[in-house]
Amino acid sequence: MSHRAGRTRWRRFAVVLVPCVAACASVGIAMAQGALAASFFISGQKFQVTADSLTARGFSLYGTIDVTRKHELVPVVVSGFRHATVRGLCQSVVVDIPVVGTRTLRLTGGDGRPAEASNLFIDATTETVADATFGNLDIGVAQGALTKGPVRSTDRNSRFFDPDAVAQQATSATLTDVRVNAVAVSAGTFNIPGLALRLVRGDQACP
């Protein structure tokens, strides 16, 4: 059943869609036997993505499985945005470098003028938002029936994508104080005014 509303407001938004253990096991066995070939490998290392606010036209949320070069399976939630405006963007990854020690690579931008992205996809293991407002929200739509928000073509054509699994979509979304642990981010275009990239000492992940 489709749930529709002009505006739906959630004080706390924390959704994780994880495929069942049996599905993960069957996919792993198939890969080990060479029945499946992974077309996209992730590093497997998590990184932080934060934003003061994210406003989008065309939003989708669905589950899938990413694969590392070692053929490890990583269940993720994919947030898709057809067009997104991002303020106060921060992305960071903490690495331990032999001899040198811990360093954090931080990318920031979109403070004075917001960053803009088209067909933005964030593959996350956890995601929290202080406040979320959705327009024309559908919860429980089948992944294969998503139309209001984008679905990455490589996901839709993947053996890991279950068209009958539960998903969420909306014509618009406004999120504030976004905090994401991600394993991958991709976009058709991503314009980031005031882009700054710094390598700093110690663990200084995005706040």
Q: What is the pLDDT of residues 53-110, one digit of tens each?
A: 999 999 999 999 999 999 899 999 999 999 999 999 999 999 998 998 999 999 999 9
Residue keyed to tokens 């618009």? 172
Range with the poorest average pLDDT among 7-21, 30-44, 91-105, 189-203: 7-21
The count of other CB atoms within 10 Å of the CB of residue 17 is 17
The whole-angstrom separation of Cα 91 and Cα 180 is: 10
Mean pLDDT value of segment 9-27:
37
Beta bridge partners of 182: 47, 124
Query: Cα–Cα distances in Å, from 163 out to 53, 101, 137, 142, 145?
Result: 30, 45, 19, 6, 7
Which range of 108-112, 150-154, 172-176 scores highest in mean pLDDT? It is 172-176
148 residue type, one letter: K
Q: Which two tokens stand for residue 122?
A: 């964030």
Asked if 188 and 118 touch (Cβ cutoff 8 Å), the reply is: yes
Contact 43, 68 (CB under 8 A): yes
What average pLDDT does this structure show over 128-150? 97
Distance (Å, rounded) from C-alpha 7 to C-alpha 194?
A: 32
Q: Are 79 and 51 in contact (CB under 8 A)?
A: no
Mean pLDDT, residues 144-168 taken together: 94
